[in-house]
Amino acid sequence: MLRFLLRRVALALVTLWVLSVIIFLASHALPGDVGRRILGPFADPRAVATLDHSLGVDRPLLVQYLTWIGGFVHGDLGMSLSFHVPVSQLLLRGLGNSVKLAAVAFVIVVPLSIFGGIVAALRRGRLLDRIITVGGLSATAMPEFVTSIVLILVLSISLKVLPISVQVPPDADPLTQIYHLILPSLPLVLVLFGYIARITRAGMIEALESDYTRTAVLKGLPWRTVVIRHVLRNALMPTIAVVATQTGYLIGGLVVIETMFNYQGIGQLLFTAVSQKDFPLIQAGVMTVGIVYLGATLLADISYSLLNPRIRLAGRE
Amino acid sequence: MDREAQRRLDEVRKGRTELENNAIDELIAGRVSRREFIRFATVLGFSMPALGVVLEACSTSSTPTTSGNIKKGGRLNVGHQTPAGAMDPILTNDLGRLTILGQCGEYLAWSDSNLHLRPVLATSWTPNSDGTEWTFKIRQNVKYNDGSGPMTVDDVVATFKRLADPTVTGNNALSNFKGVLSPTGVSKVDNQTVKFTLDAANGNFPYLVSSDNYNAIILPASYNGGWDQTFIGTGPFKLKAGGYVVNDHVSLDRNPTYWDPNNQPYLDGLDFKFYDSEPSAILAFQAGSLDVYTQFSVANGQGLLTDPNTTVIDIPTSAHRQVHLRVDQPPFNDKLVRQAMALAIDRPTIITGLWNGKAQLANDHPLFKMYPSSDTSIAQRAQDITKAKSLMAQAGKASGVDVTLYTEKVQEIPALAALLVSAGGQIGIRITLNLTDSGTYYDRYWLNSPMGITDYGHRGVPNTFLSAPLLSTGTWNAAHFANPTYDGYYADYVKAVDLSAQKAVSGKIEQLLLDETPMLIPYNYDFLTAVKKKVSGLETSGMGHMNFRLAGITS
């Protein structure tokens, strides 16, 4: 198991290094001059030149990369070019907000969709199965900005049951914070429910039709025991992989929802950074999302290998 | 005019300069309107009592705006565009920041929605006879919002030396002061007086030290950066402890040491919430989370225009879209083709369709009718397809021409571009669209395209619009227009301190630009602010300043 873990961590580090090179080159390939982005198109060229020089963006690319990656490895993410504050300060707040939103969405959507998938599989071909699969797929197909606006109009403006304001005072108690996060979580739930439920349903059906399930039933085990101890353990493996891969999306990919609800998560922060050509913020932001994504994938691999020993032993063969 | 009024007017005249007396003569003779006179007199530095005497003598009146039954206290939630960068006066170039600067900082003068200048940190100002020197009297006993002070003439001198200095990092004020003011031109006369000796004569200089030049809030001489930590200034509000979270919000409290005892703020404070997305801000306003939304577009805010619970403050501005036609490249190197393109446009329909009427007809030059110096006798250009086709034939282009129109995906600009494609198509100008993000447009295409649409913000005076995009040496000259006659007219316009002289040159400029047509300007649009009915007393300006000093919640 340790060897398996070390191999996965080493692979993750190589992936991060490749990501650092790609994001560095990609952010510098964005059109336009940093100083002009900050000062605006009508700024005096002399002002743009002095600003570019003071920011160090007129140095050779290799020097800039080595300076940045050296600082990153030592935990120094640099200063935001646009906002003149440490990148870490902006990222920590954005990441914290994104994690809160993702956590609320996860707590709602994961049990709900797994339960939905199990019920659909156990009621395969019946009305409930159709409602869950077709309804879930329809919800997934709807763009987030559409569901967001509809939910805001219905729940916040017309019925006034949920607040539109997502940001609460920092000293607000956890329940108040969760209450304010329910509305922006709902579009996420709608997006993810159908996907996770269908994967769970497919895994369940495959497991239900397998030989070991038939054997367990023929052994005379109660149906409830068969489902919980034999079917679910195998059926949920694809679901775990899917949920883990959605973590990156939930942490760093919610630009639309964060914008619609004016929520200062890492997705909106990255969007602002790209539009401002704020290199340190773009690079550190993408690396952070990458780390979160790889971390989640690693956790999924570990869970997967614990559930299925063939995975962790495969490397020895 | 009765005898008493004449006597008082004579008294006022005695203390005035030749330029000021000339302005009074123009008003009495009816050559300028009351509005034009007020605007021009405020530029020249007429005091309010003197202005009142002149207007009264000429049978006009000026009624001050009252705020109604506003109660003391309370806070307002204000939805506002996210600042585009660090909160620093010298770097500021966007609505997101300038509105915040104006709550905590103040200018020598305030440029109001009618383009009149109102004394704030200066009490009066006067030019010399040729407009090369301007002398400002500075208000005394003004404290900063951190309790320090008083503000001194040295502070004013240091502020403007910094703003005119090209070596200061990221100095955004240079675009206003280039060729107008150098650091050495700012000097202290005495403890109450500052003198600006200009690089060249400028009849509209007071606008450059007013709120129109949003970088120019007065800061202590000892200021050395880090404004976002202190929000220091002499304004009616100050930063609440821990109240600024970058990219998220700013909370301000009333400044207890505000200098004007008769105009203390009603509100306890303001909570600015930043929005990247206009639709989400409008939804928050409609849901009741916001009391004020500082600027909205007609395209997204139709619901606000008809909402019975919302007051819309509608300010005409000189903000506009400029369609440049590059004069040194085909197909627009022939002015007949440029004129034909201009005649193909149906401006009233565009204004109705894109702006729901919240824009003003413009005439393909930047001397908008709102400027007192514009010559409104010049005929408005109107759609004339027959004449446009005839011009195309005259130019030998009856079979049509092809051109690419480059622009940015911002607000209604793509829709305007589509309407231009349609207009051009009627007379054989086949336009292909190339829409990009703003950064790409300004970096790659703005100054290097045969045809493009550029968004220009509001200016209290047209000097910048007349110089940078149109002079042979203009740094924003996307049309590559080089006309020595125009350059001469512009020089005459800038140095004209006298309103009638400005108007005379304006007429020539307008005629020349209509003939040459290096650019199309179909409209200048309004600045729209949404305010809940319970809020009163908010004053806005075309530049995007929000004066909350006398705003509050009605009882």
Task: For B485-535, write each residue's pLDDT tens digit.
Answer: 999 999 999 888 777 888 889 999 999 999 999 999 999 999 999 999 999
Nearest C-alpha neighbor of B275 from the set B83, B5, B551: B83
Could you tell me which residues come within 8 angstroms of residue B180 by beta carbon, excluding any fewer than 6 positions away? B198, B199, B200, B202, B205, B208
Answer positive or negative: Cα dihedral of A48, A51, A53, A57. Answer: negative
pLDDT digits (tens, 9 = 90+) for A264-309: 888 888 888 887 788 889 989 999 888 888 888 888 778 777 777 6
Give the type of residue at B474. Answer: G
Nearest C-alpha neighbor of A167 from the set B60, B274, B151, B442: B274
Using an 8 Å Cβ cutoff, are B127 and B134 in contact?
yes
Q: Given B84, B171, B287, which is nearest A47 (Cβ)?
A: B171
Percent of chain A with pLDDT over 90: 15
Per-residue burial over B205-236, b if 16 or more Cβ lie within 10 Å, else e, is bbbbbbbbbbbbbbbbbebeeebbebbbbbbb
Query: How far is Cα A241 from Cα A311, in angstroms, rounded to an integer?
Result: 13
Return the residue in A58, A79, A83, A95 with the most chain B beta carbons within 10 A, the one to mutate for interface testing. A83
Percent of chain A with pLDDT over 70: 95
Mean pLDDT of A167-173: 72
Nearest C-alpha neighbor of B79 from the set B412, B530, B458, B526: B530
Give the pLDDT of residue B68. 59
Mean pLDDT of A165-186: 82
pLDDT beyond 70 at A15: yes
Using an 8 Å Cβ cutoff, are A34 and A28 in contact?
no
| C-alpha distances out from residue A243 to A233, A284, A301, A308, B456, Å | 15, 24, 12, 17, 48
Return the residue in B215, B249, B280 with the most chain A beta carbons within 10 A, the one to mutate for interface testing. B280
> What parts of chain B have a pLDDT lower than 50?
60-66
Q: Given A47, A83, A163, which is nearest B247 (Cβ)?
A: A83
Give the pLDDT of residue B285. 93
Give the pLDDT of residue B29. 61
Q: Which residue has the higher pLDDT, A111 or A316?
A: A111
Q: Given B91, B283, B444, which is nearest A38 (Cβ)?
A: B91
Residues of B in contact with A30 (CB under 8 A): 439
Query: How far is Cα A229 from Cα A234, in angstroms, rounded to an integer?
Result: 9
Q: How many CB atoms lie within 10 A of CB B29?
A: 9
Residues of B in contact with A268 (CB under 8 A): 276
Q: Which residue has the higher pLDDT, A2 or B158?
A: B158
The answer to pTM > 0.90 is no
Residues of A in contact with B245 (CB under 8 A): 93
pLDDT digits (tens, 9 = 90+) for A59-99: 888 888 888 888 888 888 888 888 888 999 999 999 988 88
Using an 8 Å Cβ cutoff, are A104 and A182 in contact?
yes
User: Given an 8 Å threshold on Cβ–Cβ distance, is B169 in contact with A50?
Assistant: yes
pLDDT beyond 70 at A314: no
pLDDT beyond 90 at A34: no
Sort strands B292-293 and B269-275 into parallel, antiparallel or unpaired.
unpaired
Give the pLDDT of residue A59. 85
Query: How far is Cα B81 from Cα B295, in angstroms, rounded to an integer?
Result: 8
User: Given an 8 Å threshold on Cβ–Cβ distance, is B93 in contact with A40?
Assistant: yes
Residues of A in contact with B465 (CB under 8 A): none
Q: Given B166, B440, B468, which is nearest A31 (Cβ)?
A: B440
Give the pLDDT of residue B15. 63
Distance of CA B112 to the CA centre of its chain: 10
- H or E element: which one contains B260? none
User: Given an 8 Å threshold on Cβ–Cβ distance, is A47 in contact with B170?
Assistant: yes
